[in-house]
Structure 1
């Protein structure tokens, strides 16, 4: 009697960070299930609750009870979007892993397209956001110029419009898990990590419900993390401007001595105040830049865990 050998399906992990998304979670889950049904793969959906203060954890608990493919990691507090993604990736068991936001601005209908590219042999399938339907002019312009600046001062090529909606192969995930810095800019890390990649473009629809949790303060912090993580140019610029300032000071001293010798020296109060204010302001700016880098060094040398989990819900797949 011939034995029948069962072939185990490949596993797809979908990592979804959520923060106060009680109005989006169920709709997102429904749309993901519709998309996954067209793929011949087993799957797990890993929600990472980033310290929500609304009913999001309760809704995730309900989903884990209804569907054994759903897992939920409830973080002890809010650690931020990038660390929430990292937590989900650390716990993903799939042969391929997709990271995406839970507000439906990363369309679940694109999941089959990402998987198809992966099956063609690509190890990183990066989505490129051409536009966001509900983004205002200020956000579009700041995003455009931010990518121009970071690519100009960094050695890592970060594609404008790149998002945290991507698929990566298991081998890429294992490499990514070796990177354990606290101040994370995952778009830059993925640009630096290499491997065979391709891109898929999309237009981000408006949020299904609720408001964006990325406040201007969080966006500024995220931008600074990207710059300081992948460029020392601000420090070098401080040196160059300091040298220029020193040269101008020498020229000013020569000018003052000349005026003194020919007897045309004025009382000079205004000139003194201008120079002192200019140099003092530059010093404060440069000290602030240096402080940003020192602060990040301080966080890293403490070697604290990136995150800690209050509760794990759902079935751990084997």
Structure 2
């Protein structure tokens, strides 16, 4: 059976300004892949890098033709770059992985074994994030808790993009047309038969992380608003609660005034009430705006990405068409 003996394995690597890790990454990943199969491809998506990432990728392909390059027209972000790589992957199994080697390539061996045992998707789960800073660990744990409670789709805790997916999973993924893409949520939504492998996350081999505070914050909002309408529903409940409390408070004022007379209105309390409810209104409008903004992006129906050049991608492989 092909899957058990010599499967075609595609590794998809989004890269943005990763010139410092290119050589060491290929050294590590090719060693693993050659021990597993004689048929593999490493699809590198250059996501608008401004350093020497692309020239180094081209040089690496000169030594290993299994390295294939998709050069996007600009920086579209990791989620879109990952989507582009998955669109072009041709393997029986596909493994997204980061170039910084914080996702250990050696774990692919264990993933393949579980895939051969019948799993359609094998998820790599981080059991130890000690190499991350305190803020990143705390914010990540908080995000997974909040997203898990709010989302209609269960997102595994401490699971990133690093996983192995069967060809049928990739084909199903290509049928999802949304432009606003939170890949961890999309992977979870797909379902299929899943298995897990665990690992302790190592340090980056070189370079610095591209995930700064503001980018992480926006990414977390993307994950929450893309996979649940609960924030909108909360405002329905809050509006109902206020509509119940307001008449009750009005009745209290009427009764008190009837027995005790008219009080002199308090300026401070009036201002506090006005500011409080104004803040609630603005917050509600902001949440509504998040959803309206996503609708705006979807209805424009722009392509997810534009490819400036492909190097090594098979000519007979149909380029994904805009949905």
2:276 equivalent to 1:251: no
Q: Does the CA contact (< 8 Å) of 1:114 and 1:125 recur in 2?
A: yes
- In the alignment, what sits opposite 2:301? 303
Mean Cα deviation higher: 26-35 or 252-261: 252-261
Secondary structure in 2 matching 1:60: helix
Instruction: Within 5 Å, give how 1:1-318 maps onto structure 2.
Output: 9-261=6-258, 262-316=260-314
Cα shift at 1:221: 1.5
CA RMSD in angstroms, aligned pairs only:
1.6
Q: Does the CA contact (< 8 Å) of 2:69 and 2:313 recur in 1?
A: no
For structure 1, the residue ranges without an aligned partner over 5 or more in a row are 1-7
Cα shift at 1:181: 0.9
Cα shift at 1:130: 1.2
Q: Does the CA contact (< 8 Å) of 1:256 and 1:265 recur in 2?
A: no
Q: Deviations over 1:108-163 (max 9, x none)?
A: 11121111211111110100011224212221122112111111122211111111
Q: Deviations over 1:197-249 (max 9, x none)?
A: 10000011011111110111111121111111111110001111122223332
Q: Does the CA contact (< 8 Å) of 2:232 and 2:287 recur in 1?
A: yes
Mean Cα deviation higher: 58-67 or 280-289: 58-67
Partner Cα distance (1:22, 1:283) in 2:
47
Q: Does the CA contact (< 8 Å) of 2:22 and 2:99 recur in 1?
A: yes
Aligned length: 311
Q: Deviations over 1:71-130 (max 9, x none)?
A: 111111111111111000000011110001011101111121111211111110100011
Mean Cα deviation higher: 306-315 or 47-56: 306-315
Partner Cα distance (1:246, 1:279) in 2:
13
Q: TM-score, normalised by structure 2?
A: 0.92
Secondary structure in 2 matching 1:280: helix
Partner Cα distance (1:316, 1:65) in 2:
16
Secondary structure in 1 matching 2:75: coil
Cα shift at 1:317: 7.6
Secondary structure in 1 matching 2:178: coil
Secondary structure in 1 matching 2:131: coil
Q: Does the CA contact (< 8 Å) of 2:8 and 2:37 recur in 1?
A: no
Q: Does the CA contact (< 8 Å) of 1:76 and 1:309 recur in 2?
A: yes
Cα shift at 1:298: 0.3
Q: Does the CA contact (< 8 Å) of 1:99 and 1:167 recur in 2?
A: yes
Secondary structure in 1 matching 2:176: coil
- In the alignment, what sits opposite 1:5? none
Secondary structure in 2 matching 1:251: helix
